[in-house]
Amino acid sequence: MRKRETPNVLGGILGFAWLIVILVPIYYAIVTSVRPREDYFTSNPLSLPTEFTLQPFRDVLENDFLRYFLNSTIVTLVDGAHRFSPELLGELPRVAGLG
């Protein structure tokens, strides 16, 4: 006879609370990104915006964002190559059958 398992209610409640903790900052970032700058401090930060605007995205794209993005991409690739090359060279003798 199988023992009947009871549901983990405390785990479910804590998991749901953790989900809220994770989702609130993501929601805040999205809502703030489409809210006019004037509404940042005059309304509840978690409420839906009274006006919807994409002006912050236009500002970012007009202010040489692609140059900064390319710079970050180059730095990331060079750093990755710098970290990966010693590992690759260290494995070369083993792969070539010399070690």
Tokens, residue 94: 């083993």
Given this model, what pLDDT does residue 45 score?
84
- What's the rounded Cα separation, in Å, for the pair 69 and 64? 9
Alpha helices in 1-99 (DSSP H): 9-33, 55-62, 65-95
pLDDT (tens digit, 9 = 90+) per residue, 1-56? 677 788 899 999 999 999 999 999 999 999 999 988 888 888 888 888 888 999 98
Q: Name the packing angle between helices 55-62 and 65-95 (round to 10°).
A: 70
Tokens, residue 23: 């989702």
